[in-house]
Structure 1
Amino acid sequence: MNKLKPLMLGMMALLLPLLIQAQNEPLLLEVDLDDKVSDVSPNMWGLFFEDINFAADGGLYAEMIKNYSFEFENPMMGWRRVEDNGAKGYVFNRNHPSGVNHKYLRLQRLNNTGNFGVSNEGFRGMAVKEGLKYTVTFIAKLAKGDNLALNTKLLDGGEEIGEGSVSGFTSEWAEYEIVMTADKTLDGVGFHVLLEGEGELDIDMISMFPEDTWMGRKRGLRKDLVQLLADMEPGFLRFPGGCIVEGFDLENRYEWKKTIGEMEDREVIKNRWNIEFAHRTTPDYYQSFGIGFFEYFQLSEDLGAEPLPILSCGLACQFNTGEQVAIGALDEYVNDALDLIEFANGPVDSKWGAKRAEMGHPEPFDLKFIGVGNENWGPQYIERAKIFEKAIKAAYPEITIVSTSGPFPDGHEFDYLWGELREMDAELVDEHYYRPPSWFRENARRYDDYDRNGPKVFAGEYAAHSTTVSESWKRNNWEAALSEAAFMTGLERNADVVRLASYAPLFAHVNGWQWNPDLIWFDNLRSYGTTNYHVQKLFSTNRGTDVLPITADGKSLAGEDNLYASAVLDEDSGEMIFKIVNTSTAAKKVSIKLDGKYRGNGEGVLIEMAHEDLEAFNSLENPVAVEPQEKSFIISKKTIELELKGQSVNVGKVKLSK
């Protein structure tokens, strides 16, 4: 044995370099440039919008005044009396004689000393920017007295940093406007409405907007938030959400007809998320519908995205009341769907097409999709879905109907619904997945074996819920985004089955959220895209037109050696685009061979997003802690040699045509 030991040690010394060399050999991947596996939907990567986490009022909708029409359950919620220096005055709330806007404010001032009026707290505070104009509008009528004036002030503590005034009120309701310019940038500004003179003034619809709205529209959207959406180049915009569509009960469901027309005709209702949720109480969460269905369609058009509205099918949220409208009374709901299609696409001489034209858009919105129900399940959903399908297809056979597979990506209800929807020849089935990061990595092959001839899939709501910090704070960290990227390569590889996909939820106010994680976070001045946002953007801005096979030893990569890959051809730009995700902590060498028509040598672009800490995250204070970086690579003899960083998402682009 002693004689063999030196021989064995010698052999090991010879073999060890070979073993090390084998470990360092790059993984050989092949991309067949001539094999178009399937097309990629031009609308593949899109947006899911829901008014949760103050995403609309207090977020995307740039209105700064909370409860501007005094229609909250507590009419003075958001408002406080201002009374000093011996001033005496009273606030009245009376029933408005008609319409849906029933309440207004009466300011009654008994003497002409001191300050008397009201202040508004805004949405989790109020912020202004130095040099920016802010327009206050309201309707008012004189109830008693003469020579009354109304002053508005922006205050930094006791310091006035903006003001304006208007007078000349009459005994008839009329609209008035005051424009103020902020002297400084401040998050936490005070806003006061003060009455001058002795008498009584009735006032309602007190509104304030910054001048820098998206596209400069009056009563418009918050510019920085829309820009983040536009930068993603989304293929579709799903609205008005998920659970908000169903409502806690049917009375609280989303009714699109109540969200169009003049603001005074839009009925304010309690938001579905006006609840205690995730240890956060939001009793002041209402919907003004300043963003209604017209604005959703308009935003879709601005973004170049297909509008995808989801409507109630007559079932309230089954996690709550599960209230059902009787089948015999379903006509109202079906007619709402048919009328919506007419509102979007109908000629200007049709009833609902005329409504659209009155709002400033005579041209059709060219609606192609409509969703029936959200996360509903059971025979009661199928029974209603069949009625909707029959009516919609009879009137509008060209419209694609989106059906739901329930709230979970598997289980009895999921299997039941898929079985029924296959029998119905459903067109698009909406699947939702909120699962731990490991689930997303393990399910990168989820659609490899889906029926190619059955209904197509809309991955309508997904997000990896990382629990590395705590159960109550599922942070938008790098582990979650990296895992989603791995899963998304599987969606892209199976683009013949998966036609649409969107992360959810979209927005969250840092001081007013009910659900996390979320794609974009903001306060009243700032906003940022999360790590997940940047991953979604990498896919949506590098969509391609056709799927190409990218294989190792003839097989697709979906977790082997912690690597995940997909590739597409972009006929429009003449590029081949590959996406490779490395979930290992170690760097990986890959050699990508381009088979097919390519000149052989050249240069490409690599967009790399990586971080060594899985708990790394972006924030308002550090919005680019994790963000993509761009560099170049060389193609030599139709081969790309890369070393992929550990825990990285990599998007490579190669120009195929000269």
Structure 2
Amino acid sequence: MWIRLARLLVSSADGTSMARLNSWLLASTFFAAISGCIGATVVVVNGTASHAIPSTLFGQMFESGDGGLYAELLQNRAFQQVTPNTAAALNAWHPVSGASISVIKDTKPVSAALPNSLQLTIPSGQNGAVGFSNEGFWGIKVDASWTYNASFFFKFPTQSAFKGSMTIGLQTSTGQMLASESVDISGSTTSWTQVQVKLKPTTSAKDTKNSFVVTVSGAGGQTIDFAMFSLFPPTFKNRPNGMRIDIAETLIEMGPSFFRFPGGNNLEGQTVATRWQWNATVGSLLDRPGRVGDWGYVNTDGLGILEYLTFFEDAGMEPIMAIWSGYALGGTNLAENQLAPYIAQARDQINFVIGDPKTSAPAALRASLGHPEPFALRYIEVGNEDFFAATTYPYRWHDIVANLSAEFPHLQFIATSNTFNPILSPNPTQYDVHVYQTPGWFAQNSFIYDGFQRNGTTYFEGEYAAISTNANNLFGTPDQGRLLWPTMQSSTGEAAFMTGLERNSDIVFAASYAPLLQHVNSTQWTPDLISFDAGQVYKSTSFYAQKLFSVNRGDEYLPSTLPSHTGTLFWSVTRSKASSSIIIKISNTVATAAAMTFQLPFNTVASTGSLQQLHGAQTASNTPAQPQLIVPVTSSIPTGKTFDFNAPGFSVNVITIRVT
């Protein structure tokens, strides 16, 4: 994530249709300016569409999923990428009833990918229940309507005569056991053995301050090793190793058409060794070593490439998939003669997604995991933010794309350097543009793509968000202007920018706000579109602005009087052929209400339209303390071939009218 300002290119208006359109826009803008002097801003709508709206225009981008979208409830479940015999290795784990616990490098690990184990030592003379607990990701939601799937592996390091039982349960902070199951165990179990139980709570917990607990009853003086714990609630569409239901449903509520994965910085790694690798994220959880991510925490990679793709399929989204481009965030740039194995790995990654199991080993692996048919895939992003390594990107881009496009000629490859700087070969047909700025910048730059050449190149606004009110301190602290939560000021600025994306959707084929998700107890970046904790999801004002645009996008763009380049009121008009409706989106980016008059060219226009309105004070935010302070309100408004509308200060509005 970073600021990336696309180079402004001079527009080329070739062709008589473009000339006529420009003349019409100039005339209607002049008329609106004169009318504006009288009072309301007049918007004259042209009934002839200038272009179709891309099906991919609005979607989502994502960095990582542990403790959030991925439904696993246990934190540090397999002691991946930790240093044994340190306190940090026990993150989220706690001893129970005087037990001694430590993370060890096991001489006989549960798998080669998971070398560490949790060792429990029961004090001599102890006969009661002794064990350990896991606090989850800052809590665990316990719901009596759910059945939880719990599992782990255990073994005794040396054989003993021990006979006893093991209890697995969910417990409140006050010690009340809400669900439990017991299994008999024996000291003769010296090979790794998996325990799997279903936990059905007798009552729901009043809060999320609950723990997963494992205790052992029997003679003391024993040592037992444990590995690869897991605790899953019900998942979205009941997928094994799947997604958290409320977060998945919130994402789908936005109506996204695509999902950019495996994220931006999450792809690159700080080093070559810690980059995201598709083949380390498939198959048994025992075979996934995890990796230290680029935001300072360990990714289990339980949410792997197959889980991603299955979710997209379930959610009706298509993937925009990134491949590693030979650059790591720590500054490593692979030399050209070092690229070959990484290009091969990227080829395998693509074949895992779309290859033929009869001719491709990665595709055969996909089939063996339950998905013999290929997934949908059209776009491949080569790297992330490679303007940081611009001097080496030309040869990396060339070698990667030249090799992969020969095998996958139907795929479209997206460049991640600055647009046309440096010059790349083969010439990219898509660029990914990122920008983090102030609300005012987004409003003032809603015309930025109007100036781009129509030369066959299209653009993906892969990351964008208004993150600060202080242009001189974009990445400073909140007292320097950095936002903790989206506000109505930031959301209306983004919405103004989105009217420009919609107007220029002849060349902007996709756009996604970033970041998508944040856990309120562990945040590396603010603001974020959706926040959550162990029990709830919090939808920001920007979430609702994105949703209003995404679910009301229309099929084709209708030109209209242009907003002022230096103004504070912005709009766009689209048509839905399926519903015989026009959709007018309006963003007012200041506190003063704005009077508008719309003139429609259609034969018949309904006398009543639908208004969806998001409106609030400049600094108003949805937060865990006030999660629904600002939500869209739907109402009816009078419409006609000419109708008036008053856009409240700091508002995002969607007007839908049936026309013929």
TM-score in terms of structure 2 length: 0.87
Cα deviation, residue 151, structure 1: 0.9
8 Å CA contact retained: 2:105, 2:115: no
Aligned partner of 2:352 among 330, 334, 343: 343
Counterpart position of 1:424? 426
The amino acid across from 2:315 in the alignment is L
What's 2:613 paired with?
Answer: 608
**Residue of structure 1 equivalent to 2:211:** 190
- 2:323–2:383: 8 Å Cα contact kept in structure 1? yes
Give distance in 1, aligned partners of 2:505 and 2:105.
57
Q: Which has the higher strand share?
A: 1
Deviations 1:335-394 (A, max 9, x none): 122112211111222211111112221111021111101011212012100111101110
Could you tell me which of 277, 281, 305 is aligned with 2:317?
Answer: 305
* Counterpart among 465, 468, 485 of residue 467 in structure 2: 465
Conserved 8 A contact 1:81-1:118: yes
CA RMSD of aligned residues (A): 2.2
Q: Which ranges of structure 2 fall in alignment gaps of 5 or more residues? A: 1-34, 471-477
Relative to structure 1, the CA distance from residue 601 to residue 270 in structure 2 (aligned partners, 3 Å threshold; closer, same or farther) is closer
Structure 1 pair 518/219, CA: closer, same or farther in 2 (3 Å)? same
1:371 is aligned with what amino acid?
E
2:284 equivalent to 1:262: yes
| 2:229 aligned residue | 206
Q: Is the 8 A contact 2:59 2:511 kept in 1?
A: yes
CA distance in 1, matches of 2:94, 2:615: 52
Query: Which residue number corresponds to residue 450 of structure 1?
Result: 452
Q: Distance in 1 between matches of 2:626 and 2:256?
A: 25
Pairing 1:22-171 to 2, within 5 Å after superposition: 25-33=39-47, 35-51=48-64, 56-75=65-84, 76-78=89-91, 80=93, 82=95, 84=97, 93-96=105-108, 99-109=112-122, 110-142=124-156, 143-144=158-159, 145-156=161-172, 157-168=174-185, 170-171=189-190
Partner residue in 1 for 2:575: 569
Residue 5 of structure 1 corresponds to which residue in structure 2? none
In structure 1, distance between residues paired with 2:357 and 2:658: 46
- The DSSP-based 3-state class of the residue aligned with 1:316 is coil
Which residue of structure 1 aligns with residue 326 of structure 2? Answer: 314
- The one-letter amino acid of 1:217's match is R
CA distance in 2, matches of 1:651, 1:384: 44
Contact 1:93 1:106 in 2 (8 A): no
User: Could you say which residue in structure 2 is the equivalent of 1:16?
Assistant: none
User: Equivalent residues in 2 for 1:408-419 (5 A)?
Assistant: 416-417=421-422
Any idea what SS the aligned residue of 1:580 has? strand
TM-score (norm 1): 0.87
Distance in 2, Cα, partners of 1:255 & 1:558? 47
The answer as to whether partners of 1:426 and 1:455 remain within 8 angstroms in 2 is yes
**Counterparts of 1:526-541 in structure 2 under 5 Å?**
526-541=536-551
- Tell me whether 1:372 sits opposite 2:372 in the alignment: no
Q: Say whether residues 1:588 and 2:585 are aligned partners.
A: no
1:392, 1:91 → 2: CA distance? 43
Bigger shift: 189-198 or 492-501? 189-198
Give the whole-Å Cα distance in 2 for the aligned partners of 1:95 and 1:498. 55
Distance (whole Å) between structure 2 residues aligned to residue 22 and residue 243 of structure 1: 46
Which residue number in structure 2 is paired with residue 438 of structure 1?
440
- What is the CA deviation profile of residues 507-553 of structure 1, one whole-angstrom value per residue up to 9, with x for unaligned ones? 000010100110000010011110000011111101111111121xx
The residue type equivalent to 2:249 in the other structure is Q
Question: SS in structure 2 opposite 1:448?
Answer: helix
Aligned-partner SS, 1:550: coil
The aligned counterpart of 2:508 is: 498
Q: CA deviation at 1:623?
A: 1.7
Aligned pairs for 1:204-353 (under 5 A) are 204-210=227-233, 212-274=234-296, 285-317=297-329, 321-349=330-358, 350-353=360-363
2:166–2:185: 8 Å Cα contact kept in structure 1?
Answer: no
> Identity rate of aligned residues, in percent?
33
> Any conservation in 2 of the 1:464–1:484 contact (CA below 8 Å)?
yes
- Give me the whole-angstrom Cα distance separating, in 2, the residues matched to 1:334 and 1:304: 29
Could you tell me whether the CA contact under 8 Å between 2:170 and 2:212 is conserved in 1?
yes
Shift in Å at residue 237 of structure 1? Answer: 0.3
Q: Secondary structure at the match of 1:148?
A: strand
Gaps of 5+ in 1: 1-20, 275-284, 407-413
Between the aligned partners of 1:593 and 1:630, the Cα distance in structure 2 is 23
1:467/1:77 CA distance change after superposition, 3 Å: farther
1:161–1:24 distance in 2 versus 1, CA, 3 Å: farther
Deviation at 1:595, TM superposition (A): 1.1
Q: How big is the shift at 1:415? A: 6.0
Q: Deviations over 1:543-590 (max 9, x none)?
A: 111111121xxxx11445421111111223222111111223222221
Look up the equivalent residue of 1:44 and give its one-letter code.
L
The aligned residue for residue 195 of structure 2 is 176
CA distance in 1, matches of 2:102, 2:605: 82
The superposition leaves residues 455-497 of structure 1 with CA deviations (integer Å, 9 ceiling, x where unpaired) of 2110000000133752354431111101000011001000011
Q: Decide whether the 8 Å contact of 2:79 with 2:103 is kept in 1.
A: no
Residues 464, 514 of structure 2: 8 Å contact kept: yes
- With over 3 angstroms needed to count, the CA separation of the structure-2 counterparts of 1:381 and 1:91, relative to structure 1, is closer
Is the Cα–Cα contact under 8 Å of residues 429 and 458 in structure 2 kept in the other structure? yes
Structure 1 pair 80/226, CA: closer, same or farther in 2 (3 Å)?
A: closer
Displacement of 1:107 in angstroms is 3.2
Following the alignment from structure 2 to structure 1, what is the Cα–Cα distance between the partners of residues 605 and 524? Answer: 53
Counterpart amino acid of residue 254 in structure 2: M
**2:94, 2:262 → 1: CA distance?**
35
